Every structure is written in C-alpha cells, then in structure tokens.
C-alpha cells in the first residue's frame, strides 16, 4: 500500500470546512461522545472530490496519533463490495462466472452432504438469499484457512434457497473461494491486479508489518487473540484464513474507497461495463421485503444512508464502523471510515451518527446551490 499516490479524483475540496461545517461538527461531537475515537471521510459530487478530511485520533488515550485523510483503515465488510463483488462482476463479464449457475458446480464440497444445496446459485450468495446462516464462529474450532472453508461447506441451510434474505458472511466466504477457483488466482492477487492497480488506489489485503503502526487499532481483544488488534483484520474468521477472505480483510484509505465509488458512478469505467453495474446495483425483486442488490444493499426504511438518498442508491456497511453509500441520481458518494469497535466493540452509537452525517452532507450540498 502506497499512501502517497497521486489522486485520480478531480480535487474540489477548497472551502470544504465552510461548506460541510455542520457535517464535520457532527463527526466531532460523535468523537467527543466516544462513538468512535477517530474518522476519515471523503465525499464525491458530480465528478469531483468535494471533501476529504480526517478527524480525531487512533484511540481515546492521551497522545494517541491523530487521524488524517490518508489514514489506512480496516475496511471490514466493505471488502464484500470493493473486492469480492467487483471480482464477480469482472468474471461475469469475461464469461468465467454465471449468476444462475449452482454454487456446487464450482464448489462441489458445498453440496456433498445435502442435495438441497444444489439449488443455491451464485446470484443467491450475492443477494444473501441462499438460506445459509448469517454468521458462525468457525474460528473457534478452526486454525487454518482450509478448515474454515471445510466448515463453511458443511454448514446446513437454515431456510430453503431463495425464500429468505439474511445477510451472510458465510455466503461471501464461499464467494471468495469461487472467485479463486474460476480466476485461477488467489483472491488478493486477483483483486490487486484486476481492481486496485487499474484504479491506482490504496486498497489491499494484509498490510506489511511496517505499515501496521500507522493503522488505527480496532479492538483490545481479551477473548480470542488476547492482544490489541492493529493492522490485521478484525474479523476472526478472516484472520484464521490468513487475512484474505471474501467477506473481510481489505485495508484502505477513504480516498481510495471514494475513487472506487467514482468508478461505479462512471458506469464502471475503467473496470466494468455499464450494464454490469446496473445489474448488480438494482434491488432484487425477491425474496419479499429484501433490500439487497447483488453484493450491495439499497436504502430501506429507516436506512443508514439517511433520508435523502434516492431509490436508485446503493451502499454497504462494515462492522468496524465503515460505510460507503452511492447515489447515481445525485452523482454523489459518501465514504466514512472509523474504528468504532475500539476498545471493545460495545458502542452502537454509529448507527445514529451515519444517517445524521449523510443527511447533513446532502443538506450542505443543496444549500450550496442556492
């Protein structure tokens, strides 16, 4: 990861502190109230980078390093969209993946003990409608990547395929493995070569040892790793997998995520074709009541995107306190990276901060038009 890359975004951040005064003040209050110790945010609007800012510190301790706009964060489940979903989009365009194909055609171990699993398609994994459980502490009985995969293959379905939408880390663990087998490359290698390098962004799996002190810690883990988790993936299942997984593991700067968002807003250029972006980001018609797209989420009521994002919007959250929301009607993206899990993942205050921050940003942009 190189934190000194020249940004490919059109810099229009002059005057950001005045324009987004209320939005930034909201984040500062959240830091004071210990919703999270620090944050970085990037806002792109109508083709330009209109805000790029770091606030707060790595931890709540006196003397803790300050967070900057180029601070690298654990992206957590934003990995699902910037890495795994994007990889699936690329492979679909190349004819190496097909959404309607059964998962078991690529991962025969998945249906070895349950013929019902043969009904599960790649589209269902992406839409979180496979019937798989949302989460399982596989790390408690696994000590290596293959052991995590073997357990994920064997997990029983909780519902019939296609009948219920439930956000599932397990499904994306399987998707990461499917990408590797179809691409013939490790997931991190594929993403580096086909996504991050073409976009010239500071996103990567597994930061180098010398980079770790410059990354905000995500937790003082007293129950599993028994150490401060800093510069290595917070998610325990991904950690046992060596830090490279379909559901978590990427680290990056807020500007890098914003650059990925601009790629999506520019109809996928230079990575993807417009029809692929439209296919993956439109809300699914079933199961009933789902807000999911393919890999992405869409605004629901209420939504972490706030009250202004259009119905065509799409986004994703990350457990460590990260988020990305994109509105193609406004040509707007808002990225917010935090380490709200410090020191012990107990604070849920970010659930109120996110929508309020998004609303304040949109209100500032609307006010600037007057």
Structure tokens at 127: 């839409």
Give which of 304, 32, 288, 316 is closest to 164, Cα–Cα: 288
pLDDT of residue 1: 66
**DSSP characters for 123-180?**
HHHHHT-SS--S---GGGT--SHHHHHHHHHHPPPSS-TTS-----HHHHHHHHHHHH
- Partners of residue 250 on adjacent β-strands: 205
pLDDT of residue 7: 59
Structure tokens at 69: 């706009």
d(CA 243, CA 139): 12
What does the H/E/C string look like for 287-347?
Answer: CCCCCECCCCECCCCCCCCCCCCCCCCEEEEECCCEEEEEECCCCEEEEEEECCCCCCCCC
Number of continuous H segments (helices) and E segments (strands) in the chain: 14, 11
d(CA 360, CA 364): 6
Q: What is the pLDDT along the chain (370 residues), one digit of tens a residue?
A: 654 444 579 999 999 999 999 999 999 999 999 999 999 999 999 999 999 999 999 999 999 999 999 999 999 999 999 999 999 999 999 999 999 999 999 999 999 999 999 999 999 999 999 999 999 999 999 999 999 999 999 999 999 999 999 999 999 999 999 999 999 999 999 999 999 999 999 999 999 999 999 999 999 999 999 999 999 999 999 999 999 999 999 999 999 999 999 999 999 999 999 999 999 999 999 999 999 999 999 999 899 999 999 999 999 999 999 999 999 999 999 999 999 999 999 999 999 999 999 999 999 999 998 5
pTM for the model stands at 0.97
pLDDT of residue 4: 45
């Amino acid at each position: 990861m190189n934190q000194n890359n020249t940004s490919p975004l059109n810099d229009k951040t002059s005057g950001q502190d005045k324009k987004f005064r209320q939005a930034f003040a909201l984040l500062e209050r959240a830091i004071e109230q210990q919703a999270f110790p620090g944050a970085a945010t990037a806002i792109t609007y109508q083709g330009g980078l209109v805000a790029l800012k770091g606030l707060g510190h790595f931890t709540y301790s006196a003397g803790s390093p300050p967070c900057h706009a180029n601070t690298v964060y654990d992206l957590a489940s934003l990995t699902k969209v910037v890495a795994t979903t994007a990889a699936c989009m690329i492979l679909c365009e190349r004819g190496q993946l097909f959404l309607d194909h059964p998962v078991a055609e690529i991962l025969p171990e998945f249906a070895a003990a349950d013929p019902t699993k043969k009904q599960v398609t790649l589209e269902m994994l992406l839409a979180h409608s496979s019937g798989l459980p949302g989460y399982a502490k596989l790390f408690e009985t696994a000590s290596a990547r293959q052991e995590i995969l073997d357990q994920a293959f064997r997990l029983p379905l909780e519902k019939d395929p296609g009948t219920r939408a439930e956000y599932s880390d397990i499904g994306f663990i399987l998707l990461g493995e499917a990408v590797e087998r179809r691409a013939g490359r490790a997931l991190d290698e594929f993403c580096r070569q086909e996504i991050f390098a073409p976009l010239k962004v500071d996103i990567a799996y597994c930061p180098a040892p010398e980079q770790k002190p410059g990354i905000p810690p995500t937790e003082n883990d007293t129950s599993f790793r028994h150490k401060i988790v800093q510069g290595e993936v917070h998610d325990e299942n991904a950690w046992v997998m060596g830090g490279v997984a379909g559901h978590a593991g990427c680290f990056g700067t807020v500007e890098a995520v914003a650059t990925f968002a601009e790629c999506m807003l520019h109809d996928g250029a230079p990575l993807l074709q417009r029809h692929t972006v439209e296919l993956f980001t439109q809300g699914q018609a079933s199961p009933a009541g789902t807000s999911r797209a393919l890999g992405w989420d869409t605004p629901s009521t209420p939504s972490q995107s706030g009250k202004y994002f259009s119905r065509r919007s799409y986004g994703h959250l990350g457990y460590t306190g990260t988020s990305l929301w994109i509105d193609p009607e406004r040509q707007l993206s808002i990225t917010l990276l935090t380490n709200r899990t410090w020191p012990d993942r107990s604070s849920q205050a970010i659930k109120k901060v996110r929508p309020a921050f998004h609303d304040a940003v949109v209100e500032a942009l609307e006010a600037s038009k007057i």
